[in-house]
Structure 1
């Protein structure tokens, strides 16, 4: 579940990173007071922790993919700051390694081994945190895969809906064309009926005229016979 500031998992990675960054810084500072094998032991431990810190940052970057855009933009700026810090620590480690001198003195070697036991214990603790972080990364990857699967299913459903809409659009176009054809047929029929009505009216007038003329002729003939 996301916290108000972003992702709880991202913030957990941040805590792990801050802890390991502090350990790296302390080791690099301590290496300045050592020589020979003890110094090399400290620098090797710091190198391992830098690798672990890099993996934590990679896990943080993966977690950003699961966040909404508003939180992602802000947390990406913080992640870039962490990457810059780690790069500076890498450069400091390289300079310390370049100035480190090897020695074959047995006492220094034994001292380095004894001094390295505490460092190895701390490294084991860092490895435990890294394993926990790896488990969280696997969980994030699983969530990302689930999100991808849901996106594919949504895309498939959307494609089906678009296909249905396309079919409905074709039906609507066909219905519209049918209506246009019907309107055209109705217009033709209307014009035909109007023409027939005009012809019928004309025929009625002609018939009435003929009847009137015939009646007039009959009356004229009768009049001539009676008064002629």
Structure 2
């Protein structure tokens, strides 16, 4: 059995390609045909497979280091390409997870309206119908989605504000340290000048005595 770095690299690369192919099929087809808990379960499976693919890339990087420099470049390029493909898969997964969360929120809102409508006949006449036989309100859906986006935007703004505040605090601390250092230098210079003035006065007095003698 060939255990050279290049042979092991090829083995890991082939395994990565197989997982990547499986992930593409699930993300582009399987997930979109499911709903509810089945969809969530498949998303968790995909997340685990993405973690496995990440570990395979790390193993490929381990096998890259002992390779001779003369042949390392194409293998390094394949790792870069694999990382790019994996990053795209992770982004697709995150988008699907957000979509699933929004669907859950809308489903909960629709259930609440149906429950209220059961106790109030006037609410049962509201136009909540869709192709699946459920109930929904387009305006309420739009408001809910807008509220979700606003909340996410607010969170991003808060994070940016906290980051800027911390950076400003660091800059202020650096300025205070610099000013303290400059003050110490000025005080030292002042003391040095005072000593020099004293020496000059004593020298001047000595010269005067020597002149008058």
Range of TM-score over shorter length: 0.3 to 0.5
Structure 1 length as normaliser, TM-score? 0.42
> Which protein shows a greater Rg?
1
Structure 2 length as normaliser, TM-score? 0.45
